[in-house]
Amino acid sequence: MQQGTRSSRALMWSRDAPMRLLVTGGAGYIGSIVARHLLAGGHEVVVLDNLSRGHRQAVPDGAELIIVDLLDREVVRSAVDGGFDAVLHFAALSLVGESGTHPEIYYETNVGGTLNLLEAMRSAQVRNLVFSSTAAVYGEPEEVPIPETSPPLPTNTYGRSKLAVDWMIGDYCRAHDLGAVSLRYFNVAGASGGLGEDHHPETHLIPNILRVALGANRFVEIFGTDYDTPDGTAIRDYIHIDDLADAHVLALGATEPGRHRIFNLGNGTGFSVREVVRAAGEVTGREIHAREAPRRQGDPPKLVASSELIREELGWKPRKPSLEDMVGDAWAFARAHPNGYGD
């Protein structure tokens, strides 16, 4: 494909027309399910992943897999130079604790890897980007639910590395006519089409609760029971993976040359740890043993992201907002894959 043709495609595609899309991190939990949604929409999908924390089995049928590390600049440039209409960027390291003990690999991977991707896109004249950001960039905000106008004050290296990427994307939009949308959210839950969560180590609450239901773990820990919340446990934002995927599809149609748009995604109210444990017990029909533990340093009582802006501007509306739907779909995946993907 000639470079001029590629540029025209990138700037003139319709959100209703089939597109050729590159999904980085498409072998991971979120990236794989978004890729599945894109394929279901009739798009051609190429997954780029180094498989260091993703799973080959998670790449949906119909997607091409290219095993590439974003830190390999020349190979990334060659992979992106294949005629894409847009990139959806999920590839990142995301463990908060690890980011504190090894900040160097988080800045190298999350920031440096994204820089290589942006340069490859610029070289190939791919000018549409949807970035998987995080509401962790806001730190411990004074206003909850958190609006996009809340000042970013991340409290950990992971959040700071993702904020650095957001800033870098904004600069590329202004300087190089990139059109980009960043989506900021907290906890993604559920499963979809036989794909689900399989992390090592697993740090997310719902899959760890379900490991108790499966008998793999004896109990789940509740960190902090004396917060100023209705039941004393911390309240967090959860969004179903299918609803998150819908938002990414809508974001593809919202990119504009030279503009970086930022949208938060949230359920508006949040769920407490005890509510999640109780819902898991009801959905699974099994007793969930919980052990109370002290608060973890830096854990605020309530973190919920507002989704008013994306609802108003892009028409996004969650189809599965209930905790029972999220836990139920995650439970179906956990029972079908008690050992994860097994790779």
Q: Which residue, among 190, 195, 184, has the nearest Cα to 205 in the 3D structure? A: 190
pLDDT at 128 over 80: yes
Give the Cα separation of 183 and 88 in Å (integer): 11
3 state SS for the chain = CCHHHHHHHHHHCCCCCCCEEEEECCCCHHHHHHHHHHHHCCCEEEEEECCCCCCHHHCCCCCEEEECCCCCHHHHHHHHCCCCCEEEECCCCCCHHHHHHCHHHHHHHHHHHHHHHHHHHHHHCCCEEEEECCHHHHCCCCCCCECCCCCCCCCCHHHHHHHHHHHHHHHHHHHHCCEEEEEECCEEECCECCECCCCCCCCCHHHHHHHHHHCCCCCEEEECCCCCCCCCCCEECEEEHHHHHHHHHHHHCCCECCEEEEEECCCCCCEEHHHHHHHHHHHHCCCCCEEEECCCCCCCCEECECCHHHHHHHCCCCCCCCHHHHHHHHHHHHHHCCCCCCC
pLDDT at 61 over 90: yes
User: Which regions of the chain carry the CATH code 3.90.25.10?
Assistant: 205-236+268-336
Provide, rounded to the nearest whole percent, the portion of the chain with pLDDT above 90: 90
User: Which regions of the chain carry the CATH code 3.40.50.720?
Assistant: 3-189+238-264
12 band by pLDDT with thresholds 50, 70 and 90: very low
| Residue 288: Cβ within 10 Å count | 18
Question: Class of 3-189+238-264 per CATH?
Answer: alpha beta
Task: Judge whether 341 counts as a catalytic residue.
Answer: no
The per-residue pLDDT for 240 is 98
**Architecture of the domain defined by 205-236+268-336:** Alpha-Beta Complex (3.90)
Q: What are phi and psi of 81, to 5 degrees?
A: -80, 45
Q: Tens digit of pLDDT for each residue in 74-90?
A: 999 999 998 999 999 99
Chain-centroid distance, C-alpha 104: 21
Could you tell me the pTM of the whole model? 0.94
Average pLDDT, the chain: 94
Greater confidence, 283 or 300? 283
Task: Measure CA of the first residue to CA of the last residue in the chain; give whole Å.
Answer: 36
Q: Is the peptide bond before 321 cis (omega within 30 degrees of 0)?
A: no
Q: Which residue, among 147, 131, 163, has the nearest Cα to 266 in the 3D structure? A: 147
Mean pLDDT of 59-69: 98
Q: Given the residues 29, 106, 138, 158, select the one marked as catalytic.
A: 158
The per-residue pLDDT for 14 is 55
Mean pLDDT of 179-189: 97
pLDDT at 36 over 50: yes
pLDDT at 10 over 70: no
Angle made by CA atoms 31, 37, 39, in degrees to the nearest 5: 100
pLDDT at 126 over 60: yes
17 band by pLDDT with thresholds 50, 70 and 90: confident
Q: Tens digit of pLDDT for each residue in 207-219?
A: 999 999 999 999 9
